[in-house]
Chains A and B, each alone.
Chain A
Amino acid sequence: MGLRLEFQKRTEDHPKWLPAATSIGAVLLAFVISGFILKSVGADPLYIYSYFWTASFGSWGSISDVVVKATPLLLIGLGSALSFKMRLWNIGGEGQFYMGAFFASMVVLLPMVNLQTTPKIVVLGLMMVMGMVGGALFGFIPGVLRAKYNINEVITTLMLNYIAVYWNNYWIFGKYSDAGFQMTKMFPKVAWLPRLADYAKQYKFFSGITLHAGVIFGLIAAVIVWIILNKSRWGYKITLIGDNPKAARYAGLDITKNIILVFMFSGALAGLAGMAEVSGVVHRLQERISTSYGFSGVIVAWLAKLNPVAVIIVSILFGALIVAGREIQPSGVSFLIQGITLFLVISSDVLLKYTLRIERTGKHSKSIEPEAALTEEAK
C-alpha cells in the first residue's frame, strides 16, 4: 500500500482563479522554504521576516521607499511581460536601464539644452525621450540579432548588461567624474522629477516622502501595455507570434519586424525606468543605480502571469523585498526568495495544464492489476 501522485491532462479549461492562486501560493511557499534555508545557515527567519515587514510597510516613509523601488520594477516588468508574451526572453532590462540612465543624463551632462533657460518640462521631456531612446537602442541590438540571425537573445541581452555597466563606468569614472568619485556632479534642480517632498512647505505630511513622478510613468505604461495586449492589432500580432510563429508567418505577419519592435518597446520602458531613477532618486549618474532591477523585473512579469495590472501589484511586493533586503544580513536573502518564488511559479504552471490526483495504490487499484497478476504468477 502506498500513495501515488498522478498527473492527468486537463480536458476542460482551468478555473479562472487558479493562475492567481498559484502565484500567491508560490510566494507564500517561497517564504516558508527560504525560512528553512535561513534557519539552516543560522539566521532567524521570523526575525528577518518581521523586520522585512516593518522596514517596508512600517511607516509612510518606508511605504514611499517601497513604491520608489517598485517603479523601475514596474516599468521593466511591463517591458518583460510584453516581450515574454511573444516568447522573447529579453533579460537585458538591466543593461537597457543603464543605457536609459546614461542617455537621459547626457541631456544634463553635455548639456543638450541650456539648463539655465530651458523650462523644466522641456528638460524632463527631453530626458524621458533620451532615456527611452537609450533603452530602445539596447533592445534593438539583441532584437536584430535574434530576428535576422536567430541568435539566442538570452545570451546577447545578458552580455549587453555587462557591456552597459562598463560603458557607464567609463563615463562616471572618467570624463564626468565628480572630483574623482565614481559619480557625476549632482544634476541641477531643473532636471529633477517632482517629488512629494518638494511640496512639504504646503503639506507638512509630505516632508521626507521621496515618492517621485516616475511612478506615474509606470502606471500610465501599465495602462498602455494593457491596451496594446488586449485591444490593439499589434497586441494580437504579438499574441499570435508568441503562440505559434509558424501560424503567424502563414497568416502573413512580418515576424522579423515585430521581434525588433517588441524588443525596442521593451527596452524603451526599461530605459525610461533608468531615466526615472537618475532624475527622480539619485539626481546624478553613478555606479550601482540598479539593485538587479533588470532581473527582478523578469520575475515580476512571470509572477504576474504577464498581466499588466498584476505587474503593478507584484512590483510593489518586490519593491518591499528590495527595500528590506538591502539592510539585512545575509545579503542574498531577497535574491534567494526571488529565485525560489520564480521556481515555484513555473512549477505550479503544471497545475494549469494538469490535474493532480492522489491515488492509493494497493490491490484494489485497477490500474496496476496486470502487475499484481504477474507477480502472483512469478511466485
Chain B
Amino acid sequence: MNLNVIVHAGISTGTILLIAAIGEILTERAGIKNLGVEGMMLLGAMAGFKIAHETGNVWLGLLGAIFAGGILSLLHGLVTISFQADQTVSGLSLTFLGTGLALVMGEGLTGLTTPVVPNYTVPILSQIPYLGEVLFTNHNLLTYFGYLLIPISWFFIFKTKPGLHIRAVGEKPAAADTLGVSVYRIRYLYTFIGGCFAGLAGAAISIAISPGWYSHLTTSGQGWIAIALVIFAQWNPTRAALGGYLFGMLRRLLLDLQGPAMLLGGRNPFFYNHNLVFFLQMMPYALTVLALLWGSSGARRKRLGAPAALGEPYVRGERGL
C-alpha cells in the first residue's frame, strides 16, 4: 500500500474510462445516447488484440480497434438517426452485438501475447517533485494521450465552431437545422467518433494498460461505468477526467487492500478472510450507483442537466418546425 503507486496506477487505468467517457460525451452532446459503449469497447479490445497479435504491430492494432468501434457505432447511428428507433434499446442491442462479435471473432485469442503500447517517461516534467513521479514517469503512451485529450476536447466543445454546432444539435436541433447545419450529418459524425473512442478505450485495455484477452471479462462492465461517468460529469470532459482518474485510483486501492496482513495498525480482515474480497470487487459497481445518486442531487442543485434533445430523434416537420 503505497499512495504513489495507487495514484500512478489509478491514472493509468483511469485513462480507459476517460477515453470512453469523452467519446460518449461527444456523442451525447450531439443528442445521441449510445448505451453500447461496453459492446464497442469489447469489440475494440478484441480487434486491437487480434490485429496486434497477427501483424506484430501494435499501432495497427490501435487503428483497427478505433475502426471496429466506429463501424459498430454506425449501426447505432443508422437505427436511431435514420430509423428513429429508441436509443436505449438500440444501445442495448449494440452491447449484445458487440459482445457476440467479439467473442466469436476472439475465439482462441486467450493466453496469446502481443506487442503492447510502450511506456514512456517524459524527460523534464518527470523531474518535478512528486507530480513528476506519478504523472510523467513510466506511463503508457495512451495515458499521455489522455492528458492531451482533456483540454483539447473541452476547448473543442466549448470554444470552437464545430463544438458550437454539436451543442446546438444536442440542445435544439431545429435551430441548427434552420441555420443550415445538418443535424443528421453531425449526429452520425459524433456517434461515429464516440464509437472510435470506445474502440480505442477497449484497445487501451487489451494491448496497453492491462494487456491480454479474457473474453467478456476484458472490459467487465467498464463501458457502463463510463456512461455513468458521463452523467456524473454532467457532460463535461474535465469532470469526466477527474472522475475517471479517481475511479482508477479507487480500483487500485481496493486491489491493494487485499495484500497486506496488517491494515491501519490492525489485522486486515481481507487478508484473513479471503471471501470478503468479493465485497471489495463489488465496490466499483456500488460506488457507481452512489456517485450517480450524489451527482443527481448536485445536478438538481445547479439546474444542470443532459443536453435537452438527448435521446430524441429529430424529424424535420415535427416539434415546432
A contact set with B: CB distance below 8 Å? 37-38, 41, 89, 91, 145, 149-152, 154-156, 158-160, 162-163, 166-167, 169-170, 173-174, 295, 298-299, 302, 329-340, 342-343, 346-347, 349-350, 353
Report which of A151, A169, A332, A350 forms a contact with B99, defined as CB distance below 8 A: A332
Contacts of A349 in B (CB 8 A): 83, 85
Contacts of A149 in B (CB 8 A): 293, 296-297
Min CB distance, B236 to chain A, in Å?
Answer: 17
Query: Which residue on B lies nearest to A152, using beta carbons?
Result: B231
Cα A349 to Cα B93 with chains together (Å): 14
> Which 10 pairs show the lowest CB-CB distances between chains A and B?
A332-B103, A336-B100, A339-B97, A339-B96, A342-B93, A330-B107, A174-B275, A335-B100, A350-B83, A170-B278
Task: Flag if A343 contacts B97 (CB, 8 Å).
Answer: yes
Q: Contacts A145-B293, A149-B296, A159-B285; is A154 near B88 (CB within 8 Å)?
A: yes
Task: Flag if A155 contacts B292 (CB, 8 Å).
Answer: yes
Residue contacts A-B, CB under 8 angstroms, 24 given? A145-B289, A149-B297, A152-B227, A152-B231, A155-B289, A159-B224, A160-B285, A162-B282, A166-B279, A167-B282, A170-B275, A298-B92, A331-B107, A332-B99, A332-B101, A335-B100, A336-B103, A339-B96, A340-B97, A340-B100, A342-B97, A343-B94, A346-B85, A349-B85
Cα A343 to Cα B289 with chains together (Å): 28
Task: Flag if B221 contacts A150 (CB, 8 Å).
Answer: no
Min CB distance, B296 to chain A, in Å?
Answer: 5
Task: Flag if A335 contacts B103 (CB, 8 Å).
Answer: yes
Contacts of B297 in A (CB 8 A): 149
Task: Flag if A160 contacts B278 (CB, 8 Å).
Answer: no
Task: Flag if A41 contacts B104 (CB, 8 Å).
Answer: yes
- Is B98 interfacial (CB-CB < 8 Å)? yes
Report which of A37, A166, A335 forms a contact with B278, defined as CB distance below 8 A: A166
Contacts of B262 in A (CB 8 A): none
B contact set with A: CB distance below 8 Å? 35, 39, 75, 78-79, 83-86, 88-90, 92-107, 215, 221, 224, 227-228, 231, 273, 275-276, 278-279, 281-282, 285-286, 288-289, 292-293, 296-297
Interface of B is mostly: helix
Query: Which residue on A lies nearest to B90, using beta carbons?
Result: A346
Cα A231 to Cα B161 with chains together (Å): 54
Contacts of A336 in B (CB 8 A): 97, 100-101, 103-104
Pick from B78, B90, B99 the residue with the most CB of A within 10 Å. Answer: B99
Task: Flag if B103 contacts A331 (CB, 8 Å).
Answer: yes
Min CB distance, B31 to chain A, in Å?
Answer: 16
Contacts of B85 in A (CB 8 A): 346-347, 349-350
Q: Contacts A349-B85, A350-B85; is A38 near B104 (CB within 8 Å)?
A: yes
